[in-house]
Structure 1
């Protein structure tokens, strides 16, 4: 006959395994996207004349996270990424770390968090049972990315850069139009890519 202690031990192991099966996948996706944000920053940057903030693929990865994960996981990925930089790891553009959170790019980096949450909450569920519904889903994803990952992120970015550089926000906005155009294209690509991936799943 199985002893009470053995039974309790087996029950405990079953509970731990059950929790691990639920928790590990939930942690894995934010970790993956946090690593992708770092890789996108490390892949290189393009300088834009008139602004101290370079173009990178980070915003594209942020959009993908928001469109592919639930809002908690997407926010977790951004928090992990920002925390790594705050801890001194060179995960930001140009190999920067903590200093970037107090420099001209700070607002854009901080804006990733509310931006990814807004995008994930606005995107809705993918409906792919017909070409028309798939097209509507792609348009909805695009709109969510524009509002959250572009408008919200830039709102934070412009405001904080204006404050730190003592430059009128209109001047900052005009100088950043190259970023805005690029991110609109990224939003379209991210929407199409995530819709296609959803169809494959």
Structure 2
């Protein structure tokens, strides 16, 4: 059953007493960053940007966790990658953040905030809300990721290599999330 003041799915599933909110947040941020890292391993290799489930995980976590916890989760993930842990699709290290795919990775912070706020506002409760939030997040990824990629390959190639191949997959990811999140909320109703 959902907590009456729950604004996110994470709060509805696990709303601890105030004293244990920090350990809960740490646990969820670490678990979420592990999920993002694992989802990066589900991929179709392409150059310069592989198709992965990593963006799906970031978007889903943002909707389910809300902006603050999603920012912490993505921040942990990016820090782990910057420190060299192999949490990105191609490995880890600062070179990934500075290389052609860096804009896509850094966009996760913007997604965590924007899509997380959408989750806090109830967008994760309906099929249309989730779809709109997922597509908004995908647009952020495209703008930041392809914008950064264009510095390496030019704008035309950035669109051809960094946006067009991902459109169908991102629509499928949005449909999957639109099926999962509202169903999860429905299971929590009395």
Aligned residues of 2:100 and 2:149 also touching (Cα < 8 A): yes
Return closer, same or farther for 1:89/1:188 CA change in 2, 3 Å cut-off. same
The alpha-carbon deviation at position 174 of structure 1 amounts to 2.3
Partner of 1:159: 147
Contact 2:83 2:92 survives alignment (8 Å): no
Q: Report the equivalent of 2:157.
A: 171
Match of 1:6 in 2: none
Task: Give the aligned partner of residue 13 of structure 2.
Answer: none
In 2, the alpha carbon distance for the partners of 1:161 and 1:192 equals: 32
- In the alignment, structure 2 segments of 5+ residues that lack a partner are 1-16
Question: How many angstroms apart in 1 are the aligned matches of 2:117 and 2:79?
Answer: 23
TM-score (norm: length of structure 1): 0.78
Q: Hey, what does 1:45 align to over in structure 2?
A: 43
Q: Does 1:145 align with 2:134?
A: yes
Under a length normalisation based on structure 2, what TM-score does the superposition of the two structures give? 0.82
Give the SS at the match of 1:24: helix
State which of 181, 186, 189 in structure 2 corresponds to 1:194. Answer: 181
Q: Which runs of 4+ in 1 moved over 3 A?
A: none
Conservation of the 8 A alpha-carbon contact between 1:138 and 1:192: yes
Query: What is the distance in 1 between the residues matched to 2:102 and 2:156?
Result: 18
Q: How many residues align?
A: 170
Aligned match of 1:21: 20
User: Whose Rg is larger?
Assistant: 1
- Give the conservation status (yes or no) of the 8 Å contact 2:123–2:133: no
